Amino acid sequence: MSVKQLQVDILNLKNQNDVTILAHYYQPIEIQEIADYVGDSLGLSRTAKEEVNTEYIIFAGVNFMAETASILNQDKHVLIPNPESCCPMAAYLTPEKVIKFKKEYPGLPVVMYVNSTAAVKAESDICCTSANAVKIVERISREYNVDSVLFGPDANLADYTEQISGIKCLKMPENGHCYVHSQITIEDIKIVKKKYPNAKLIVHPECIRGVRELSDYVGSTTRMYNYVRDNSSTDNEFIIGTEVGLLERLTQDFPGKNFYLAKDKLICYNMKKHNLELIKYILENLDDKAFEVKVPPEIARRALKPIEKMLD
pLDDT digits (tens, 9 = 90+) for 46-66: 788 888 889 999 999 999 999
Residues of the chain by 3-state class (helix, strand, coil), percent to 5: 45, 15, 40
> How many C-beta neighbours within 10 Å does residue 36 have?
16
Beta bridge partners of residue 128, listed in sequence order: 113
Q: Which of 145, 171, 197 is the last residue of a domain?
A: 171
Between the CA of residue 131 and those of 43, 134, 204, 239, what are the distances in Å? Answer: 10, 8, 10, 19
Q: Which of 216, 240, 261 is the last residue of a domain?
A: 261
Our count of domains for the chain comes to 3
Domain carrying residue 117: 90-171
Q: Is the same domain home to 66 and 101? A: no
Quick check: is 71 in a domain? Answer: yes
Quick check: is 181 in a domain? Answer: no
Cis peptide before 106 (omega within 30 of 0): no
pLDDT of residue 5: 96
Residue ranges, the chain, pLDDT below 70: 42
Entry field: residues in the chain: 312
Quick check: is 302 in a domain? Answer: no
Determine the number of helices (DSSP H) and then strands (DSSP E) in the chain.
14, 12
One DSSP character per residue, 232-276 reads: TTT--EEEEES-HHHHHHHHHHSTT-EEEESSTT---TTGGG--H
CA distance 172 to 104: 12
Nearest to 246 by CA among 7, 29, 22, 21: 29
pLDDT of residue 112: 98
Sign (positive or negative) of CA dihedral 223, 229, 234, 237: positive
Quick check: is 123 in a domain? Answer: yes
pLDDT of residue 50: 87
pLDDT of residue 30: 96
pLDDT of residue 60: 96
Strands 19-24 and 56-60: parallel
How far from the centroid of its chain's Cα atoms is residue 175's Cα? 19
Quick check: is 47 in a domain? Answer: yes
pLDDT of residue 1: 82
Q: Is the same domain home to 59 and 119? A: no
How far from the centroid of its chain's Cα atoms is residue 162's Cα? 20
Q: What is the CATH number of the domain that holds 207?
A: 3.40.50.10800
Quick check: is 306 in a domain? Answer: no
Quick check: is 18 in a domain? Answer: yes
Q: Which of the 8 DSSP states describes residue 90?
A: G
pLDDT of residue 221: 93
Quick check: is 176 in a domain? Answer: no
